[in-house]
Structure 1
Amino acid sequence: MLIPISNTPRDYSWGSVDLIARLEGRAPTGKPEAEIWYGDHPGSPAVVADGSGRTLGQALAEAGEPPLPFLLKLLAAASSLSIQAHPTLEQAREGFAKEDDAGVPRDAPGRLYRDPNHKPEIIVALSDEFRALVGLRPVEDTRRLVATLGEGPARDALSARLGEAEQDAEATASTLRAVVEWALTDADAGLVADLVRALGAADGEGAAEFAEEIETLRGAAADFPGDPGLFVALLMNLVTLRPGQALFAPAGVLHAYQSGLGVELMAASDNVLRGGLTPKHVDVPELMRVVDVTTGPVPIVVPREVAPGVREYVPPVADFALTAVTLAGTAPVTIELRGPAIVLATAGSVSVGAGGRTSGGDSVDLAPGAAVYAGREGRVEISGEGAAFVAQPGREEVRPRARHAVRGAGEGSITP
Structure 2
Amino acid sequence: MLIPISNAPRPYSWGHTDFIADLEGRTPTGDPEAEIWYGDHPGDPSRVTGTDERLDAALARAGERPLPFLLKLLAAGSSLSIQAHPTKAEAVAGFAREEAAGVPRDASDRLYRDDNHKPEIIVALSDEFRALVGIRPVAETRRLLAALGGTPALARLDALLADDDAERGVRAALAWALNDATGDDVAELTAALDAAGGADAAAVGADAAFADEITVLRAAASDFPGDAGLFVALLMNLVTLTRGEALFAPAGVLHAYQSGLGVELMAASDNVLRGGLTPKHVDVPELLRIVDATPGRAPVVEPVVSGDHAVTYDPGVEDFVLTRVELTGSPVSADLRGPAIILATRGEIAVAEREPGRDAVVLAPGQAVYVGGGATGVEMSGTGEAFLAQAGLG
TM range (shorter): over 0.9
Structure 2 residue aligned with 1:197? 191
Contact 1:320–1:391 under 8 Å retained in 2: yes
SS at match of 1:60: helix
Contact 1:154–1:198 under 8 Å retained in 2: no
Could you list the per-position Cα deviations for residues 212-256 of structure 1 after superposition, in whole angstroms to 9, with x for gaps in the alignment?
A: 001110000000000000000000000000010001000000000
Contact 1:342–1:371 under 8 Å retained in 2: yes
SS at match of 2:351: strand
Query: Is 2:347 aligned against 1:353?
Result: no
The AA in structure 2 aligned to 1:334 is S
Residues matched between the structures, number: 387
How far did 1:263 drift?
Answer: 0.2
Structure 2 CA distance, aligned partners of 1:219 and 1:207?
Answer: 18
The AA in structure 2 aligned to 1:302 is E
Query: Is 2:359 aligned against 1:362?
Result: yes
Structure 2 CA distance, aligned partners of 1:189 and 1:215?
Answer: 21
Q: CA RMSD in A?
A: 1.0
Structure 1 residue aligned with 2:231? 231
SS at match of 1:298: coil
The AA in structure 2 aligned to 1:386 is G
Contact 1:155–1:198 under 8 Å retained in 2: no
How far did 1:355 drift?
Answer: 2.2
Structure 2 residue aligned with 1:407? none
Structure 1 residue aligned with 2:261? 261
SS at match of 2:207: helix
Structure 1 residue aligned with 2:375? 377
How far did 1:103 drift?
Answer: 0.2
Structure 1 residue aligned with 2:171? 177
How far did 1:206 drift?
Answer: 5.1
Change (3 A) 1:22 1:50: same
Structure 2 residue aligned with 1:249? 249
Structure 2 CA distance, aligned partners of 1:274 and 1:341?
Answer: 30
Structure 2 residue aligned with 1:394? 392
Contact 2:130–2:238 under 8 Å retained in 1: yes
Q: How does 1:292-303 map to 2 (within 5 A)?
A: 292-303=292-303
Contact 1:85–1:254 under 8 Å retained in 2: yes
How far did 1:307 drift?
Answer: 1.0
The AA in structure 2 aligned to 1:111 is R
Structure 1 residue aligned with 2:56? 57
The AA in structure 1 aligned to 2:175 is E
Structure 1 CA distance, aligned partners of 2:353 and 2:358?
Answer: 5
Structure 2 CA distance, aligned partners of 1:158 and 1:252?
Answer: 22
SS at match of 1:210: helix
Unaligned runs of 5+ in 1: 399-416
How far did 1:362 drift?
Answer: 1.9
How far did 1:153 drift?
Answer: 2.0
Structure 2 CA distance, aligned partners of 1:199 and 1:313?
Answer: 36
Structure 2 CA distance, aligned partners of 1:339 and 1:233?
Answer: 39
Structure 2 CA distance, aligned partners of 1:82 and 1:308?
Answer: 38
The AA in structure 2 aligned to 1:55 is R
State TM-score, norm by structure 2. Answer: 0.97
Structure 1 residue aligned with 2:270? 270
Contact 1:127–1:242 under 8 Å retained in 2: yes
Structure 1 residue aligned with 2:182? 188
The AA in structure 1 aligned to 2:228 is P
Structure 2 CA distance, aligned partners of 1:69 and 1:281?
Answer: 27
SS at match of 1:40: coil
Structure 2 residue aligned with 1:162? 161
Structure 2 residue aligned with 1:104? 103
Structure 2 CA distance, aligned partners of 1:110 and 1:43?
Answer: 17
How far did 1:151 drift?
Answer: 3.4
The AA in structure 1 aligned to 2:193 is L
Structure 2 residue aligned with 1:145? 144
Structure 2 residue aligned with 1:21? 21
State TM-score, norm by structure 1. Answer: 0.92
Contact 1:150–1:201 under 8 Å retained in 2: no
Contact 2:148–2:206 under 8 Å retained in 1: no
Contact 2:123–2:243 under 8 Å retained in 1: yes
State, as a whole percentage, how many aligned pairs show the same letter.
65
Contact 1:150–1:197 under 8 Å retained in 2: no
The AA in structure 2 aligned to 1:81 is L
The AA in structure 2 aligned to 1:158 is L
